Chain A
Amino acid sequence: MEFLANIGLGFSTALSVANVLYCFLGALLGTAIGVLPGLGPVATIAMLLPMTFGLEPVTALIMLAGIFYGAQYGSSTTAILINLPGEASSVVTALDGYRLARQGRAGTALAVAALGSFFAGTVAALIIALFAPVLAAVALSFGPHEYFSLMVLGLVASVAIASGSVEKSLAMILLGVLLGLVGQDSQTGVGRLTFGMTDLLDGVEFVAIAMGLFGLAEIVQNLENPAERNSSVARIGGLRLSRQEFRQMRGPVLRGTAIGSILGILPGGGATIGAFAAYMAEKRLSRTPERFGQGAIEGVAAPEAANNAGAQTSFIPLLTLGIPANATMAMMTGALILHGVTPGPNIISGEPTLFWGLIASMWVGNLMLLVLNLPLIGVWVRMLSVPYRVLFPLIVALSCIGVYTVSNSTFDVMMMVAFGALGYLFFKLQCQPTPLLLGLVLGPMLEENLRRAMLTGRGDPTVFLTRPISAGLLVLAVICLAAMILPAVRRTREVAFEE
C-alpha cells in the first residue's frame, strides 16, 4: 500500500503540466544533440545544464532525465543509421542495427530499439521503485577482486559476439586492453606506451577509435565493394513492425532488460558490459546464431533493452549511496548537487517528492522518447535515401567534427584517421573490431582492479578464488571460453580428418 502511495506521489509530481513539458523539451533537445556524432549523453547534459538553473529542483531533474534518455537514444540512432557509435554501449547496437539499415530495414531497427528501450525503461523504473535500497548493498559487496573477475567475464563475452576465429577475437581484446593502458598510469602517474607522443599521455580517445574502426573503415569498404556503391540502402522497408518481428523481439527484450538491470547496478562498466552480455546471451540461445552480425532483430533488441535498463538502474547506487556509477551519472550528481540536493542514503526519506518524482519521470521520459521518436523514424529513414556518394562525405565530415568536439583536439582526429586505416587492415585480416573496443573500455579498470586487488589481498592471487562472488564470475568466464573453444577444436579436427 505504501508503495502505491509513493508511486502516486511520484506521478502526481511528474505529470504536472510544467514537468511534462520540460521532460518533453529535454527529450527533444537531448535527441537533437545526441544524434550528432561524438556528442554523447555526458557532453549533451553538460551543454544543456545551464538551461535548468532557473527551474525548481524537481523540474530541473526531470528535464535532465529527459535530456539523458534523449541523448542516449540519439547515440543509438547514429549507430544504426551510419555506423557511428558515440559511446561504448551503442557499439553493440551498431553491429546488427547498421546491417539492418543497409538492407533497407533501418525503420525496423529504429522501431525495435525505441520499443525495446521503452519496455526496459518501464521495468527498470519499477525495479528501482521496489528494490533500490536492497540492490544498493550488492554494489557495495563488489571489491577489487569482484570487479576484476567481472571484467574478465565481460571480455570473454565479447569473443562470442564477434564471428570468426576465437584466437583472432582474443587477440583483438588484448590489443584493446593494451590500447586502453596507453597514457599516464593511473596508479603512479608515469607516462607509458606513448611511443614518444605527448598527446597520448591522456590515453587514447574512445570516440576517435570507435569512429575510425567503425565509421571510416566501413566507408572505405563500401567504396571498394561495387555492389553496394550505388545507393545507401537497397530499398526502404515499411516503418511498422510486422507481427513476426514483434515475436522475434519479445524474448530478447525481456532477457536484455533482466541482464541490463542487474549489471547496471554495479558502478564502473556495469552498464556497458550489460549490452555486450545481452547480445552474447541471445547469440548463444539462438537456433540460428549465424544471423547475428548480418542484421538480426534480436541483435538490436537485446542490447538496446539492456542498455536502457542499465542506464536506469545505474541511478540506484547514485540515489541510495551517492555513488555515481559512470561519467553520465557523475554529471547527474553534479546537476543534483547544483540544485541543492546531495544524493545519498537519506534521499528517499528526506526528499520523497524528488525521489519518487524522478522515478515516475523516468517512465514519463521514456514515453516521451517513444512519442517523439516513432514519428521521427520516417525522417531518419528518408535521410538514408540520399545517394551514398553524397552521404558518405557528410559522414566523414561529421565524424571529424564529432571527434574534435570531445576534447577540442585535432590529435584525436588524426587518431581516428590512423584507426580508420587500421580498421580497413583488420577487415582484410578478418578480425572484427568489436572485442577491441570493449577491451579498450574495460582495459584500464581491469588493470587498476588487478593491482588494487593485489595490494588489498597482500599479494595473494588465490583470493580471487576464495571470495565467492569473484570465484563464481571466473568460473562463468571459463565455461564461456570452453564453450567457444571446444566446437572450434572439433571443427579443426574434422577438417584434419577430411584431409
Chain B
Amino acid sequence: MKALAGSVVLLALAATAGQAATYPGKTIEIVVPYAAGGGTDLSARILAESLQKHLEGSTVVVRNEPGGGGSNGTGKGLKAEADGHTLTIGAQGPIALLPHYGATTYSIADVDFLGLMGRNLQVVLACKDAPFRTFAEFMDHARANPGATLIGNSGAGGANHLSFEAYGKATDTSYEHVPFGGASEALTACAGGHIDAVTATPAEARPHVEGGAVTPLFVMERERIADMPEVPTAVENGVDFTWSSWKGVIAPKGIPEDVRATITAVLAAAMADPGFVQKMQEMGEFVDFRDPAGFETLAREDSARAEGLIRDLGMYGMNK
C-alpha cells in the first residue's frame, strides 16, 4: 500500500516536471475554519504530518481561522492566492449549507475540490428515560405526539439540525428541535434524560451506548455500519433516507494545472498512507477518500438538498 502510494507520487512528480518542480516554493498553509482541538482541526493536523512526509522538502502548517460556523476561514482560504500554497479544509457546513443562509462571501461555485478526506456518519440515539427503545417504537411515538418529541441538535441550522428536519419531511412527522452548543453538550443532556433523542457520530455515541445511558435507534446510512453492525438503517425499515457530513481539501479556483496535478496526487497518497488512516480511525473518523470529481459531486448534491430544506424552513438568505 505504502509502496503504491509512493509510486503514485513519483509518477505524479515525473509527469509534472515543469513549473511544478519548484512547488512547493514556500511553506504550505492549511486553513482550518474552526478552532484548534476539534475533530476537523485534529484531522487537518494529521493530514499536515502525512503531507509533509509525501511531498519531499515541504513544510505544512495548520492555520486556524475560526468563526461564523466555519464561513470566516473558508472565505479567507478561498480568497487566497491560487498558487497551491494555501489549502483549506472544506466541510459540509461552510460549503453546502451556510451560503444558503446568505452569510458567506463565497458560494460553492468558487470552490476547487481537491480531495475528500472523510465522512461523519450519523446515528440517532434514544435518550435515558425516553419512551422508546427501537426504531418502530420511536416512529409510533413520533406519530402519536406530533411536534412534541424533543430532539437535541448541535446547533440550529447546522447539519445536525437540518438532517433531522429532512428526516421529519421524509417520514411526514414533526418534532421539537432543541439546539445545543455542540454535539457533546447535546449528548450530555441526552445521557441525563433531559431530552428524548439526539443525533451523533458513532465515535461520539459509543461511550454513552456502552455505559448504557442511551440506545441507538438507527443510522442514517444506506448500509449498516461496521462500527455498530447491530443497529438498523432507516432504509431497511422502509424509509429512504440517508445523511452524513464530510470534510475534504479545497482551494480557490485557478491553480496552475501542473501544480494542481501535484497536489491532488500528493493528497491521494497522503490520505492512503496507512499511518494517516490508522490515526484517523483511532480518532473515530470515517476515512472515505474521493477524488476531485467524486468530492465535487457529493458537495453539489448536498448543497442542492440543503437549499430546498432551508427554503422550506424559511431561513433562506436570512443573514444577507
Contact, CB under 8 Å: B319 / A321 = no
Residue among B46, B157, B207 with max Cβ neighbours from chain A (10 Å): B207
Would A141 and B192 be within 8 Å (CB), given that A268-B185, A344-B210, A346-B207 are in contact? yes
Contact, CB under 8 Å: A322 / B156 = no
- Kindly count the residue-residue contacts between A and B in the assembled complex, taking CB atoms under 8 Å apart: 138
B219 at the interface (CB under 8 A from A): no
Distance between Cα atoms of A115 and B144 in the complex (Å)? 60
A456 in complex: contacting residue of B184, B194, B203, B206, CB < 8 Å: B194
Contact, CB under 8 Å: A456 / B36 = no
B150 at the interface (CB under 8 A from A): yes
Distance between Cα atoms of A428 and B135 in the complex (Å)? 63
Distance between Cα atoms of A267 and B189 in the complex (Å)? 11
A338 at the interface (CB under 8 A from B): yes
A472 at the interface (CB under 8 A from B): no
Contact, CB under 8 Å: B42 / A322 = no
Distance between Cα atoms of A201 and B98 in the complex (Å)? 14
B236 at the interface (CB under 8 A from A): no
Distance between Cα atoms of A408 and B68 in the complex (Å)? 14
Contact, CB under 8 Å: B192 / A142 = yes
Contact, CB under 8 Å: B101 / A189 = yes
Contact, CB under 8 Å: A330 / B184 = yes
Nearest A residue to B97, CB-CB: A189
A289 at the interface (CB under 8 A from B): no
B-side contacts of A337, CB under 8 Å: 42, 203, 282-284
Contact, CB under 8 Å: B69 / A189 = yes
A168 at the interface (CB under 8 A from B): no
Distance between Cα atoms of A313 and B203 in the complex (Å)? 24
Distance between Cα atoms of A267 and B69 in the complex (Å)? 22
B45 in complex: contacting residue of A49, A330, A448, CB < 8 Å: A49
B288 at the interface (CB under 8 A from A): no
- Give chain B nearest CB distance to A338 CB in angstroms: 6
- Give chain A nearest CB distance to B196 CB in angstroms: 9
A-side contacts of B279, CB under 8 Å: 338
Distance between Cα atoms of A305 and B207 in the complex (Å)? 32
Contact, CB under 8 Å: A342 / B207 = yes
B-side contacts of A139, CB under 8 Å: 188, 192
- Give chain A nearest CB distance to B99 CB in angstroms: 13
Distance between Cα atoms of A268 and B156 in the complex (Å)? 19
A331 at the interface (CB under 8 A from B): yes
Nearest A residue to B210, CB-CB: A346
- Give chain A nearest CB distance to B224 CB in angstroms: 21
Interface residue ranges of B187-205 to A (CB < 8 Å): 187-189, 191-195, 203
B103 at the interface (CB under 8 A from A): yes
Would A189 and B203 be within 8 Å (CB), given that A344-B211, A346-B211, A456-B194 are in contact? no
Residue among A201, A268, A339 with max Cβ neighbours from chain B (10 Å): A201
A242 at the interface (CB under 8 A from B): no
A462 at the interface (CB under 8 A from B): no
Would A344 and B206 be within 8 Å (CB), given that A201-B103, A268-B185 are in contact? yes
Residue among B49, B103, B284 with max Cβ neighbours from chain A (10 Å): B103
Distance between Cα atoms of A267 and B185 in the complex (Å)? 9
Would A190 and B318 be within 8 Å (CB), given that A142-B192, A346-B211 are in contact? yes
B292 at the interface (CB under 8 A from A): no
Contact, CB under 8 Å: B68 / A184 = yes
Distance between Cα atoms of A45 and B284 in the complex (Å)? 21
Distance between Cα atoms of A140 and B194 in the complex (Å)? 9
B80 at the interface (CB under 8 A from A): no
Would A50 and B45 be within 8 Å (CB), given that A188-B156, A344-B210 are in contact? yes
A202 at the interface (CB under 8 A from B): yes
Interface residue ranges of A188-202 to B (CB < 8 Å): 188-191, 201-202
B-side contacts of A448, CB under 8 Å: 179-181
- Give chain B nearest CB distance to A96 CB in angstroms: 32
Would A456 and B192 be within 8 Å (CB), given that A201-B68, A202-B68, A344-B206 are in contact? no
A144 at the interface (CB under 8 A from B): yes
- Give chain A nearest CB distance to B106 CB in angstroms: 14
- Give chain B nearest CB distance to A61 CB in angstroms: 14
Contact, CB under 8 Å: A267 / B150 = no
A343 at the interface (CB under 8 A from B): yes
Would A327 and B318 be within 8 Å (CB), given that A188-B156, A338-B282, A344-B206 are in contact? no
A480 at the interface (CB under 8 A from B): no
Contact, CB under 8 Å: B207 / A343 = yes
Would A408 and B65 be within 8 Å (CB), given that A334-B41, A344-B206 are in contact? yes
A345 in complex: contacting residue of B45, B179, B211, CB < 8 Å: B211
B37 in complex: contacting residue of A42, A144, A456, CB < 8 Å: A42
Contact, CB under 8 Å: A344 / B208 = yes
Contact, CB under 8 Å: B67 / A334 = no
Interface residue ranges of A118-168 to B (CB < 8 Å): 139-144
Distance between Cα atoms of A321 and B209 in the complex (Å)? 11
B296-320 CB mask vs A (1 if < 8 Å, else 0) is 0000000000000000000100110
Nearest A residue to B76, CB-CB: A408
Contact, CB under 8 Å: B45 / A189 = no
Contact, CB under 8 Å: B68 / A340 = no
A288 at the interface (CB under 8 A from B): no
A166-205 CB mask vs B (1 if < 8 Å, else 0) is 0000000000000000001011111100000000011000
A483 at the interface (CB under 8 A from B): no
A436 at the interface (CB under 8 A from B): no
Would A323 and B194 be within 8 Å (CB), given that A191-B103, A337-B42, A337-B284 are in contact? no
B66 at the interface (CB under 8 A from A): yes
B210-243 CB mask vs A (1 if < 8 Å, else 0) is 1101000000000000000000000000000000
Distance between Cα atoms of A141 and B179 in the complex (Å)? 19
Taking A144-B194, A334-B38 as known contacts, 7 extra A-B pairs with beta carbons closer than 8 A to each other, sorted by chain A number, are A187-B156, A190-B319, A202-B66, A202-B67, A327-B37, A330-B38, A344-B211
Interchain residue pairs with CB less than 8 A apart (7): A42-B35, A42-B37, A141-B192, A144-B194, A187-B156, A323-B184, A337-B284
